Amino acid sequence: MKLLENKVVIITGAARGIGEGIALKLAEHGAHIAFSYVSDSSADKALALEEKLKGFGVNAKSWKTNAANFESAESFVNDVVKEFGTVDVCVNNAGISKDNLLLRMTPAQWDEVIEVNLKSVYNMTKQVIRPMMKARKGSIVNMSSIIGIRGNAGQSSYAASKAGIIGFTKSIAHELGSRNVRCNAIAPGFIETDMTHYLKEGEASKAFLEKIPLGRFGTAEEVANTTLFLASDMSSYITGQVISACGGLNI
Ligand code: NAI
């Protein structure tokens, strides 16, 4: 059964990693996919992904646009509505980390992480709620992190941005529930992507694995499955929630 037949989905930062996994899974379930990437070096990957997505018989198009910039997010969403007709689902996935102990963290490092991880979620959500409110339906899925719940030494900016996403998610769920627009967050644990490749090496890897009840890192596809659930009507009575996809690391 296809869970998102003919739905229009926007995903930020989907040329690789978890975003790419989400694009593939949602397209497999019949969704048309509009996705963004930010760096020139991702352009070839984005084009290749477009072709793969079209292989599922859906429309797919990528935009090179910075989700952290308000005006860019506004024109991205306007373009998508023009080309695809509406937006049913928005997955705010784009994120970066610039880890440093607070003693050494510069204002520029702090600002960059907050802008890319948190402000982007405001930028995108503010735009997509217009078509969603008009349609009286919609699902917004925000990518938080286990670090936003537990914190971590050396990751204060990342943790603050991901905790901020949780507060934002709950507030939007309150604001838009009456319009049948749902807003939820996912808190992944350690997922194997470019962002976490360094965790797989040596002793550090063993120490991390010992803390995960399921005894392994997660995959982008596993986060994509959680996203599919929250994007689709399978979760029609769920809003303002944070679902942990972390192999039990949070217990
Ligand atoms: P990744 O680094 O592989 O992919 C992130 C994507 O976001 C890249 O394609 C990048 O180009 C894009 N991006 C970065 N800044 C952007 C901007 N300003 N505008 C548009 N796109 C931008 O990372 P990964 O692992 O796939 O992470 C995806 C999301 O999941 C992030 O929000 C991350 O914080 C979150 N997450 C990842 C975990 C992991 O273990 N990999 C754990 C918990 C959360």
- Determine the Cα–Cα distance for residues 151 and 177; give it in Å rounded to an integer: 29
Q: Could you list the mean pLDDT of each consecutive 10-residue stretch along the chain, which spans 251 residues?
A: 97 98 98 98 98 98 98 98 98 98 98 98 98 98 98 97 99 98 98 84 82 97 98 98 98 96
Please check whether residue 36 is in contact with residue 64, taking contact to mean a CB–CB distance below 8 angstroms: yes
pLDDT at 124: 99
From the alpha carbon of 15, which atom of ligand 1 is closest?
Answer: 9
Residues with CB under 6 A from ligand 1: 12-13, 15-19, 36-39, 42, 66-68, 93-96, 116, 120, 143, 145, 188, 190-191, 193-196
Count CB atoms within 10 A of the CB of residue 74.
14
Q: Point out which residues pair with 34 in neighbouring strands.
A: 10, 61
- List the catalytic residues: 158
| Ligand 1, atom 36, residue with closest C-alpha | 145
From the alpha carbon of 67, which atom of ligand 1 is closest?
Answer: 19
CATH dotted code for 8-191+220-244: 3.40.50.720
pLDDT at 80: 98
- Integer angstrom CA distances of residue 158 from 96, 99, 214: 8, 8, 25
Instruction: Please name the residue that has the structure tokens 């967050």.
Output: 185
